[in-house]
Every structure is written in structure tokens, then in C-alpha cells.
Chains A and B, each alone.
Chain A
Amino acid sequence: MAGMKDKLRRSRREVIRTAAMLAGAAGLARVIVRPAAATPEMLQEAIRAAVGEAPVNKGRVKLDLPPLVENGNSVPMTVAVESPMTKADHVKAIHVFNEKNPQPYVISVWLGPRAGRAAVSTRIRLADSQTVTAIAELSDGSFWSDSVDVIVTLAACIEETTH
């Protein structure tokens, strides 16, 4: 996964660097540079890196996100997986991916029978309205997922950074 991230990071950086150089060259003109969004291919690559060629089943995972987000800078998220969390049958890992941020990763967590409950809460950033996907890896090697569509609106009266 690290190699994939580096590759993605470098290509994103190249785009931003080129754009920034153009922005600088434009002189006094203010150029708004938007980082390129992740493509569906990047998302699929990221999922494949986590899952391999195994099938991903729908179910057992509950991804909780507000359907309408007040501010994309901080979106409360909870992922929970139905599991007895015993040595024989537990959640090994949960991976969360996004569709339209500059890069597809959100968070990965590693659990085990000592967790007692497979549930994690955090706050995430969402750059646009999009689908967020959570994939759980179970101790028997199976993968389960849930997806949620989220609407993200930009805050009005966006302040400049100069005051």
C-alpha cells in the first residue's frame, strides 16, 4: 500500500507543482488551483491493494456518515462491523476509501479479538459530494463492505487567508 500511495502522491504533486509554476508565472493575476480529484481508477487500485483479487461482499459493515455535510473539513464518521470478535471469528482490519478527494485513502485500522467490538469513530475530510466506501477484512479471509453517498456543500462567505 505504501508504494501505491507514494506513486499517487508523486503524480498529484507533479500536477500541483506545474499548476503552481503556471500560477506564479501569471504574475499578479490570482489563479485558483484545484488539486486534481481522485479518479475511479485510483479508487479501484487502492481497493485492490487492500483486498487483492478476493471478492468483496455487501453487508455486515455499517458505515455511518451524515447524508448532508455542513462543512467538508470535518465530517463525523463511524464504521461498525457485525462480528463476535472472538479468536476464531473477528475483524482483522477496516479500510475506508473515498471517491473524489485528491487521493482515495481515508483511514485503515487494525483490530483483533482484544477489541471486543469492531467499531471506530473519527472525523474525516470530504472535498466534494461523493461515495465513501468501508471494507472490512475478517479473520477467515473474507471481505465485506458498505458504501454511503454524501452531499458536501461548500461553506458560504469563504474567507481569504490574508486577514
Chain B
Amino acid sequence: MARPLIHIPSDIRRGDIIEIKTLISHVMETGYRIGVTGLPIPRDIIEDFVCQYNGEEVFRARLAPAIAANPYISFFTVATESGTLEFSWTDQHGKTQVQITAITVT
């Protein structure tokens, strides 16, 4: 998995409901496409996506092959305090990619 792209707003006030946008490079191979050999290309997908805010889980998603390649997921969270947002994407083989982003709340 390549480096993900995370977007959180700037100038966040305590109590704001903010939208977090995430984008990661991943082929999300469904397992249904037939390759040039005539055989299906094996499934290779991200299955789990979790966001933790200062260690507490605030969002979790379970992805099926029906999620498009290079998954874009956006969701909301309440800005409670400054700290870190930890995003993790785990594929079907159990491999996890983690991205940590600072969040500043005034």
C-alpha cells in the first residue's frame, strides 16, 4: 500500500463536527476478474479500516470487494481535544498500514 492521503479541516474548534476524508492507493482486486491466462486474478482487498482518536476508536469500516479501487472513505467525528488521529487499513492477509495525523483543536 502506498502513502495515504488524509484531509482534516484547518481551524478546528472544540465541539465542531469535522469531516475526515481518506484516500489510499490499493488495487482492491475483487477476485472475479479474469486475467489474460483465462484464470481469475486472486482477490486482494483491504478488509478493515479503523480510525482512533487519541487511542479511542471513533470509526470502523468493513470493506467488501464492492468498494472501488483506491478506496475513498469520508466520515465525521466530534473534535473533542488536540492530539492524534491514527488511521489503519488492514488487508485480507492481515497486513496493516498505519497513518498518524496530528489534530489541533482550539
Asked whether the complex places CB atoms of A and B closer than 8 A, the reply is yes
How many of A's residues come within 8 Å of B, CB to CB?
Answer: 42
Q: How many A-B contacts at CB < 8 Å in the complex?
A: 109
Taking A109-B61, A161-B36 as contacts, is the C-beta distance between A120 and B74 under 8 angstroms?
yes
CB interface residues, B 44-92, toward A, < 8 Å: 53, 56, 58-69, 71-78, 80
- Residue contact A108 to B66, C-beta cutoff 8 Å: no
How many of B's residues come within 8 Å of A, CB to CB?
Answer: 34
- Please, could you name 26 A-B residue pairs with CB atoms under 8 Å apart, sorted by A? A16-B32, A20-B39, A23-B34, A31-B38, A32-B34, A35-B32, A102-B65, A105-B66, A106-B64, A106-B67, A108-B61, A110-B61, A111-B59, A114-B77, A115-B75, A115-B78, A116-B76, A117-B17, A120-B74, A121-B73, A122-B67, A122-B71, A122-B74, A125-B30, A125-B68, A162-B36
List residues of chain A with CB under 8 Å of any chain B CB.
9, 12-13, 16-17, 20, 23-24, 31-33, 35, 73-75, 98, 101-103, 105-112, 114-126, 161-162
